[in-house]
Amino acid sequence: MTSSLRLTLAGALLAVIAIPAWAETPVVEMHKDPNCGCCTAWAEHLEAEGFEVRQHETRDMRAVKIEHGVSPGLASCHTAVVDGYVIEGHVPAADIRRLLEERPDVAGLAVPGMPHGSPGMETGRQDDYAVLGWSHDDRTPAIFNEYTQD
């Protein structure tokens, strides 16, 4: 084997070993109302960040939220599931990636309401908002991350 071929093979092996963990990110199963454009924009945000998103349209989002343990105080427009975690609303891809890497003991993450400036809600206005984590046993959410416009 020539030294050139050895270097090529070594480089290829290093490239495979160096693939980041998020490259194997599980599929995001997103439930949304068929008429919601901001939900589609959020899915596009995730796809641009390397996630695969499967969109499921339903007119009964209330039933989806109940099924996944999303309380009214955490609710937004769409509900998704990724690797066993519930993602409610306009949660940034970076927070989902962190959730999947750290694997905290939470049911999921939520961005309640539809804050301007969150992924999928780029309206030109910027609201402060928090990404909340919650568990099914304790419905009191905790701040997972905050976005402020200071």
Distances (CA, A) of 130 to 64, 103, 109: 22, 19, 10
Residue 26 clears pLDDT 90, i.e. is over it: no
Residue 67: which pLDDT band, with cuts at 50, 70 and 90?
very high
pTM here is: 0.83
pLDDT at 140: 85
pLDDT at 23: 55
For the beta sheet containing 108-111, the strands, ordered from the edge strand earlier in sequence to the opposite edge, are 53-57, 28-32, 79-82, 85-89, 108-111, 129-134, 142-147
- Dist CA 15 CA 4 (whole Å): 17
Q: What is the pLDDT of residues 31-43, one digit of tens each?
A: 999 999 999 999 9
Least confident of 96-110, 113-127, 128-142: 128-142
pLDDT at 3: 54
Q: What is the pLDDT of residues 101-118, one digit of tens each?
A: 999 999 999 999 999 999
Domain borders along the chain are: 25-147
CATH superfamily name and code, 25-147: Glutaredoxin (3.40.30.10)
Least confident of 10-19, 38-47, 93-102: 10-19
Burial of 113 (0-12, 13-18, 19+ CB in 10 A): middle
